[in-house]
Amino acid sequence: MISLEDRQALAQDIQTAHAAGARLKPACEVAGIDLRTLQRWQAKDGLVSGDHRPQAVRPTPRHALSEAERAQILAVANEPRFAAMPPARIVPMLADEGIYLASESTFSRVLKAHGQTTHRGLAKAPKARRPPTTHIATAPRQVWCWDMTYLPAEVTGRWFHLYLILDLYSRKIVGWAVHDSDQADHATHLVRRTALAEGIAALETKPVLHGDNGSTLKATTVLAMLHWLGVKPSYSRPRVSDDNAYAESLFRTAKYRPGFPAKGFADLDSACNWAATFVHWYNVDHRHSGIQYVSPAQRHAGADRNILAARHALYTEARERNPKRWSGKTRNWSSIDTVTLNPERDCVVRAYSTASNKQGLAA
């Protein structure tokens, strides 16, 4: 249904094109309407008062429910045995008793008309969750993700605790620790040690540290340390499992490595040795698929652009040597400039990227 303002604008544009020499039918097709539609608007008051269909008086269908039938449906739906059930369950149960009053959709319409479809039963109605917090990283040391996972011991029921801090942009593990208990002091010391190693004090803009809602990561001592370091804390939404996807993916990579002991670790030292080996492999030897198959250490140091440029040159040279072996362009080895954590919408990322590019040009 086209609004009155859009009708008038379309008619004005078509008349302008027609006055300039265009035929009416092609002009209407370009505008997205039929010529008969324009003629109907002009013949009546369609360009003055708009569409009359919403105000049309429609007769009641002869097969519509009577007031007595509506009252019966409402009474049955409010019986104690049906009071907490949706129409999808009420109608089949009535059918088993040899009773048919109306369809599920008719039950729903009657209940909706009386305001009884919001939520039936004693359970609380679902609440709308707040949108996830979007963090965007265009360079190292802007956004960090951290979490804690359990490492099994050989003794059943005993666990070691692995803490990891991941740089969102480079995917480099910038901080890690393994302990035999989950305490806020361990997280506090890890954050402080990581901030010193990464030179956070010299940065004008401190990074954001995103984690889940675990009690350890939200402890008062941890928040005090983050405030002292100037690091801004960020947390996942309650009861949402995918707001810290990069950290969860990192833990999966760790536990599915061939060297991960299936029967657990013998002691804390063996768990620490395994963690050190894994971190070195992940940062230095691992070619990460999310950053164009360069290592996190290379991207963290800013060497990925030269590596990707060399790959592009190599592929271009190979294509020039044997052009018949290439059906199209060479592989895209361009650098990934923007990494987002929990993007709300693509427009948020595009707007941020546009603003960053404008600031760079202005500088």
Which segments in the chain show pLDDT lower than 50? 358-363
Where do the domains of the chain lie? 4-52, 67-113, 135-298
Residues in the chain: 363
How many DSSP H helices and E strands does the chain contain? 13, 7
Q: Give the pLDDT confidence score for residue 227 in this predicted structure.
A: 94
Which class does domain 135-298 fall in? alpha beta
| CB-CB neighbours of 138 under 10 Å | 14
Q: Give the pLDDT confidence score for residue 359 in this predicted structure.
A: 45
Q: Give the pLDDT confidence score for residue 362 in this predicted structure.
A: 38
Give the strand pairing for 339-341 and 232-235.
unpaired
Q: Give the pLDDT confidence score for residue 225 in this predicted structure.
A: 95
DSSP string, 75-108: HHHTSTTTTT--HHHHHHHHHHTT-----HHHHH
SS3 309: helix
Is residue 73 packed enough to be buried (19+ CB in 10 Å), middle (13-18) or exposed (0-12)? buried
Q: Give the pLDDT confidence score for residue 59 in this predicted structure.
A: 86
Evaluate whether 197 touches 172 at the Cβ level (below 8 Å): no
Per-residue 3-state assignment (H helix, E strand, C coil) for 55-79: HCCCCCCCCCCCHHHHHHHHHHHCC
